[in-house]
Amino acid sequence: MVDKYKVLINGEWLDSSTGEYIKIVNPATGEIIAEAPKCGVEDVSKAVEAASHAAPAWGAMPMGERSKILLKASRLIMERQEELANLETKEQGSPIRKTMNFDVPLCAEQLEYFAGTARAITGETLPVGPWCMSSTVREPLGVVGLITPWNFPALMVIWKLGAALVTGNTCIVKPPSTAPLTTLKLGEIFVEAGVPAGVLNIITGPGNIVGEALVTNPKVAKIGFTGDTVTGKRIMQLASDTVKQVGLELGGKNAFVVLEDAKIDSAVEGAVFGAFFNSGQVCAAASRFYIHESLYDEFAKKFVAAAKKLKYGDTMNMETVIGPVAYEAHRNYVESCVEKAKKAGAKLLLGGKRPNTADTKNGFFVAPTIFGDCTNDMDIMQEEIFGPVVALARFKTNEEALKLTNDTRFGLSASVWTENIRSGINMANQIKAGTVWINDHLIIFCETPWGGCKESGWGKDLSTMVFDEYTKLKHIYIDLIEQPEKPWYGILK
């Protein structure tokens, strides 16, 4: 018998109204590790009612009080670092080395950041004229639905939940069906930290049922979504019926541009991290590489040699740096991308096969895979793979590199590698993306805004800009003079 989890509605841990469960599989071993409730529309309605009921009191609580609850949650996360890291590794497949040292500490740090910075949210006094005092205030939106993906289950929920809660919203979280367990565990932590009943509700279940019920519910003021572009488009359509606000952090196809004067060894190191961190299951992963023709051969050789050294296998081993991809159907998709690239004429430089060692054979592993001699018309240069599979192409001039970089429907991120700061900045200014790194790739801080353009979505997570996403601006006008003196009344006289 595996553990059966419950969902959080109105401060109570409950089974689903359907009585059904989703099986949660460890992608490193193929074993079922737990079951989570397969909720339905009825559970969503209950959660929305609870969140609506809790909204006025939570929204009226002083910011400092809400902030203290977040700080306590942050401390509790670090007290349970090992438990959370183990769970995240088992349900998502990220090696324990990463979940212990990266995911869990960052969750705690981000809550601290939100708790601190939210207290500095202010309104403005507007210089309209002597007739009035005109000012703006920021108010909570009310009930918000937060729909999160499986690639960083804990971090993605904290990015949204921390900002939404501290600004006074009540929340219904819909975690990914393949990896909902750390989110449920975080729910326990928030309750222990003092989040009142109804303020945080967590509902597990299929996106097309639970997610859509949230998106279409008229009492939900906003949907904060991170996930696939196709799902994002569906959410936009459904949200239009109630003119609901949506924040969309969607897919990416991120360019890694190595200019003629780049330091090649630094670029190679950045390439390995940018491409293979979290098995490439990162919206901002470096996935199409444009290398100046004079550096191409050396870069490709060194990149392949470095990627070959990455140790994949047992995710509970602290030495392992690459885990499997997150579920079986996703492995099949990644493999189909590899086959397509081979057929399209891309040159396989590394990987391309399923590893078959004792500690990988039952899991959903994909060996780090590098293709060379790619061109922008190939699917491998245009479609998001979301796995450890990357493509290299050559360019001759910076103008050509820029044109190739912008030749995509996505606009999440890109990096430029150069020793000439002028070239780097000029390139960064012209790349159509939410973030451009110069001489780094994939580095995101609490302080820096995150979000893309084009089909990568809109809105920002992180930084203080995230507070604009979870508050509404109200203008308050206070009359200061006697009626007869107001010039605009003359129009009707």
261 versus 379: smaller Cβ distance to ligand NDP = 379
Rounded distance, CA 90 to CA 281, Å? 16
Rounded distance, CA 330 to CA 231, Å? 16
Rounded distance, CA 110 to CA 116, Å? 10
Residue-by-residue DSSP string for 36-100: EE---HHHHHHHHHHHHHHHHHHHHS-HHHHHHHHHHHHHHHHHTHHHHHHHHHHHH---HHHII
On the CB side of 463, CA atoms within 13 Å amount to 10
Closest CB 469 distance from ligand NDP, rounded Å:
13
Residue 327: name the closest of 279, 275, 276 by CA.
Answer: 279
Rounded distance, CA 217 to CA 44, Å? 9
Closest CB 284 distance from ligand NDP, rounded Å:
7
Calculate the dihedral angle through the C-alpha atoms of 126, 127, 131, 134, rounding to the nearest 10 degrees.
Answer: 0
How is residue 450 annotated by DSSP?
A: B
Closest CB 232 distance from ligand NDP, rounded Å:
7
262 versus 414: smaller Cβ distance to ligand NDP = 414
Which residues are part of the catalytic machinery? Answer: 249, 283
Rounded distance, CA 114 to CA 164, Å? 10
93 versus 207: smaller Cβ distance to ligand NDP = 207
Closest CB 413 distance from ligand NDP, rounded Å:
9
Residue 364: name the closest of 336, 320, 339, 329 by CA.
Answer: 329
296 versus 386: smaller Cβ distance to ligand NDP = 386
94 versus 177: smaller Cβ distance to ligand NDP = 177
Residues contributing to the site for ligand NDP (CB under 6 A): 147-151, 174, 176-177, 206-208, 211-212, 215, 226-228, 231, 234-235, 249-252, 283, 384, 386, 412, 450, 452, 456-457
On the CB side of 418, CA atoms within 13 Å amount to 21
Closest CB 427 distance from ligand NDP, rounded Å:
22
Closest CB 103 distance from ligand NDP, rounded Å:
13
Tokens 């009707």 belong to 492
CB 410 within 8 A of CB 252: yes
Strand locations in 278-423 (E): 286-292, 347-350, 369-372, 389-395, 410-411, 413-417
Backbone angles phi, psi at 89, to 5 degrees: -65, -45
Closest CB 92 distance from ligand NDP, rounded Å:
11
Residue 263: name the closest of 425, 417, 392 by CA.
Answer: 417
How many residues are recorded in the chain?
A: 493
Dig out the tokens for 382 from the structure: 């245009």
What is the tally of helices (H) and strands (E) in the chain?
16, 23
Rounded distance, CA 216 to CA 201, Å? 17
67 versus 226: smaller Cβ distance to ligand NDP = 226
203 versus 291: smaller Cβ distance to ligand NDP = 203
**Residue type at position 378:** M
186 versus 412: smaller Cβ distance to ligand NDP = 412
Closest CB 287 distance from ligand NDP, rounded Å:
10
CB 222 within 8 A of CB 141: yes
Closest CB 206 distance from ligand NDP, rounded Å:
5
202 versus 271: smaller Cβ distance to ligand NDP = 202
Rounded distance, CA 100 to CA 84, Å? 8
Dig out the tokens for 235 from the structure: 């959410």
